[in-house]
Amino acid sequence: MAEQKKDDSTVGSAAYYASKEYAALFKDGDVFKPLVGVNNNEGKYDDSVVENFKPPEDKNNKYFGTICEAIDLFKKWRKMKEWVKIKPKETEDIKKYEFEGYTLKIENEDILGGRARMILPYNVCVIAGLQNTDEFIKKTDDSYDKVTSLEEISDNASITHVLTKPPGFMISARDFLVVDFFYYLGNGELIMGSKSIVEHPKDPKPKKAVRGEITIDFYHIRPYYEKDINQSVVEFFTHSKMNGSIPSMITSSISAEAPLDLIGMKTFIDKNKKDIGKPGKLYIPIPLLPLLGIEAKK
């Protein structure tokens, strides 16, 4: 979750998640409780829920079209047959939790598209909460320098500026201006992600950074209906354009490592479970709190 001015404490804002009011909603270990109000769909997963999903039109969000583009690209990419499976060193986690990682050559792009799927032994609230939490982002990806929230547009969208560290010696830092989005599809299933936008009145435009572009950064998270609704099945899609001049060795490394993010996510939770379970440590999206038996005041 990005940094934000302290006086913006609207429920669901970055400042709200970092507030004592939000932390007071939880007791120690609440985030790992069994989900409530979620059924196992008779042990089956119905893919039509996400495939048929269309976000409700938001005329007050000028970036709504960009969000729709990201969702359409996700649906297109998950059906493509051209994905090439990667073969990371096999570990107990890769085998037990059915990790699958792929890359896809995007025409005229140095960086490949990345795709991954994995079963994570934690509920959807924990997984979604991590994606909003600065500490997780910075500890699992040391390329991040500063993440700043610029505007909370609605319950489903916000604008964020991301500044990354230089990826190598004599190479400029990169920055990204993105719209973040989140949609709860019901019965524990959700989508969330980011996509670049062209402009925003609060864009800091750092002088020493090259503006990159996030084509898609997308998570589809759902309960593992087939076996255990308190575990999660996570699909992850990513592609970005660094722009400017970057050696191919670095771009190739970025492409190869992207699908491994899900393994890093599980490792992080395993190592920090006690700390993650403390009140307010995870910034869980408000619509998911009822799954933990928690209601946030509007």
pLDDT tens figures, 100-144: 999 887 776 666 688 999 999 999 999 999 987 766 766 666 677
Q: Is the pTM of this model over 0.85?
A: yes
132/16 Cα distance (integer angstroms): 12
63/129 Cα distance (integer angstroms): 23
148/231 Cα distance (integer angstroms): 31
Q: Look at residue 121 and give its three-state secondary structure.
A: coil
- What's the pLDDT at 129? 93
Which fold would CATH assign to domain 14-292? Answer: Alpha-D-Glucose-1,6-Bisphosphate; Chain A, domain 4 (3.30.530)
The low-confidence residues of the chain, meaning pLDDT below 70, are 1-12, 108-112, 134-135, 137-142, 167-170, 244-257, 297-298
- What's the pLDDT at 1? 40
Query: Residues 222, 189: contact at Cβ < 8 Å?
Result: yes
- What's the pLDDT at 7? 39
* Extents of the domains making up the chain: 14-292
115/160 Cα distance (integer angstroms): 23
- What's the pLDDT at 3? 44
The residue among 128, 113, 118, 121 whose CA lies nearest residue 184 is: 128
Q: Looking at the DSSP assignment, which residues form a beta bridge with residue 223? A: 232
